[in-house]
Chains A and B, each alone.
Chain A
């Protein structure tokens, strides 16, 4: 006798909502990546080209999104900002994510005191808000792209360590791990060959969500002047500069902020959609 899965009313709508999230996330993130890549070879105008004669011109009168206080083309700046923001976020999540994953796998494999110590260390890093650790690092290393990357990565390590450790602990008691042990494999080999592939979906979801958070943090850091130095445009610094011209040129504050919000929105949708698709059992929690 075959067991038919129970279909509850509302399930169809939920699954439609789930896939629409995934599609929306893929489209927005895809467009963002495309814009970032295009900016490497083409922008309407060079983003650092100063045209004082056209300063603070409204959108459509000079360029699609207008010009800033130095007459630079806002659209070109937003495009290059996409690359700067995305590349910083990807680098930070790559560094923090891989270090955190290694720490989490190690903690789950070792158990006992090493695990407790690792998790306690996570708590301590968590107590330092990323903006403040970036300020400390910024004073230490000087401001720049790498300061931002390192500061964000440092905060990502405990996030990934916790998620990976929690997921890996659920894999370790399984039968196939026992079998691998019986075959004489050590904890390191088991972690890489058997645990990691089985928790990869959780890691992928976490990477997507943390990329959104990294973009937000990068924007905050460059807003405070702790990100990439001028003249290369960043969304955060464009917003910081726009503060002086809120009454005369409100569009300067709209375009970069909208870009940040859309990028984070797209990545969050993608993360939610991936989580629902890869693991439909988990509740929709952040």
Chain B
């Protein structure tokens, strides 16, 4: 078990290093001199050369990468050209919106998908099963950013219940903040819920056909107890796996939904950095998103090992 854990951690670190090399390499190949962008077109040649030296742009690529990586470990992500502030602070500030939004969306999608998927499986081919399958098909097909627009039209423009976008900031109190995050979280959660409903249904059906469930029923345990106490914990392994894999799409969805609702999160920051060609910020944001995806998938792998002892021997 310890050896397995160490091997997983080693592979996690290798993946993180590979991703950081990829991101740094691609961003470095971008046309356009960061120093020239920072100073504008009318800069004198010697000012430009001085800034290039100050930014370390005159050094070879591998050396710059090592400097950048060393900076990462001391919490220094560089300075934004356009905002003129350290990127690390900017990223942390934006994460304080994106992480709660993502968490809210995940909780919401699980709260919709798991009861729906389990009920659909328990009453196979019944009304709820068909309704769940139609819900899943539709919610997978509807793009989250369009759903966001429709929600704004209904709840903000027509009914006036929620703001159409923007974020008051956490100092304004929890209630207004959750009010601002409610619609974006729904727009993010529904497409996820569709996928999760299908996976939950299939996983529960799989487990229900296994011997230990039949044994439990034969011992006189009621259908409901067999379903929730015996089948559910086993069915959760594939559900958690998909939840981890879907995290990539959740991040992608956050970039779009934050733009629809004008939320100052990490996704909006990435978009603004792209428009302003602020390479240092883009590097940092894309790195943070990728590390989030990798770490979430690592945690999912660990959760699988905890939930399903069979995986330990299989993976070893």
Contacts and interface: CB of A to CB of B under 8 A. Distances in A.
Interface of A: 10, 13-14, 120, 123-124, 126-132, 135-136, 138-140, 212, 216, 219-220, 223-224, 239, 242-243, 246-247, 250, 253-254, 257, 260-262, 264-265, 268-269, 283-286
Contacts of B164: 246
Contact of A127 (B15, B145, B274): B15
Contact of B277 (A139, A257, A262, A265): A139
Q: Which of B19, B145, B279, B286 has the most CB of A within 10 A?
A: B145
B149 A242 contact: yes
A131 B141 contact: no
Contacts of A129: 248-249, 251-252, 255, 289, 293
Interface in B85-108: none
A284 B31 CA distance: 46
Given A13-B125, A132-B286, A139-B277, A223 B249 contact: no
A260 B138 CA distance: 11
Contact of B282 (A10, A136, A250, A285): A136
Interface string B58-92: 00000000000000000000000000000000000
Interface of B: 14-15, 18-19, 22-23, 26-27, 29-31, 124-125, 137-138, 140-143, 145-146, 149-150, 152-153, 157, 164, 195, 198-199, 202, 205-206, 248-249, 251-252, 255-256, 259-260, 270-271, 274, 277, 279, 282, 286, 289-290, 293-294, 297
A231 to B, nearest CB: 20
A136 B19 CA distance: 13
B157 A246 contact: yes
Nearest to B259: A224
A124 B149 contact: no
A286 B192 CA distance: 12
Contacts of A262: 141
Given A127-B15, A129-B252, A269-B137, A139 B274 contact: yes
A247 B157 contact: yes
- Closest CB pairs A-B (n = 8): A257-B146, A265-B141, A264-B141, A129-B252, A131-B252, A261-B142, A261-B141, A127-B290
17 contacts: A124-B18, A128-B23, A128-B293, A129-B248, A130-B252, A139-B279, A223-B256, A224-B255, A224-B259, A243-B149, A243-B260, A246-B149, A257-B143, A257-B150, A268-B140, A283-B202, A284-B202
A120 B14 CA distance: 10
Contacts of A136: 23, 26-27, 282, 286
A38 to B, nearest CB: 23
Contacts of B125: 10, 13-14
Given A127-B15, A261-B138, A284-B198, 17 more contacts: A123-B15, A124-B15, A127-B297, A129-B248, A130-B252, A135-B282, A136-B23, A136-B27, A139-B277, A224-B259, A246-B149, A250-B153, A250-B157, A253-B149, A260-B143, A261-B143, A285-B198
Nearest to B199: A285
Contact of A139 (B30, B152, B199): B30
B84 to A, nearest CB: 20
B137 A268 contact: yes
A285 B256 contact: no
Contacts of A260: 143, 146
A220 B124 contact: no
A264 B153 CA distance: 23
Contacts of A128: 19, 22-23, 286, 290, 293
A61 to B, nearest CB: 20
Given A246-B153, A247-B157, A253-B153, A219 B143 contact: yes
Q: Which of A127, A131, A136, A250 has the most CB of B within 10 A?
A: A127
Given A135-B286, A224-B256, A283-B202, A216 B143 contact: yes
Contacts of B138: 261, 265
Nearest to A248: B157
A132 B19 contact: no
A119 B286 CA distance: 22
B29 A285 contact: no
A224 B146 contact: no
Given A212-B141, A250-B153, A135 B199 contact: no
Nearest to A272: B137
Contact of A140 (B29, B137, B249, B270): B29
Given A212-B141, A246-B157, A120 B293 contact: no
Nearest to B248: A129
B60 to A, nearest CB: 21
Nearest to A265: B141
Contacts of A223: 145, 256, 259
A250 B150 CA distance: 9
A253 B150 CA distance: 8
Contacts of A131: 252, 255-256
A243 B157 CA distance: 12
A260 B15 CA distance: 35
Nearest to B262: A243
B289 A220 contact: no
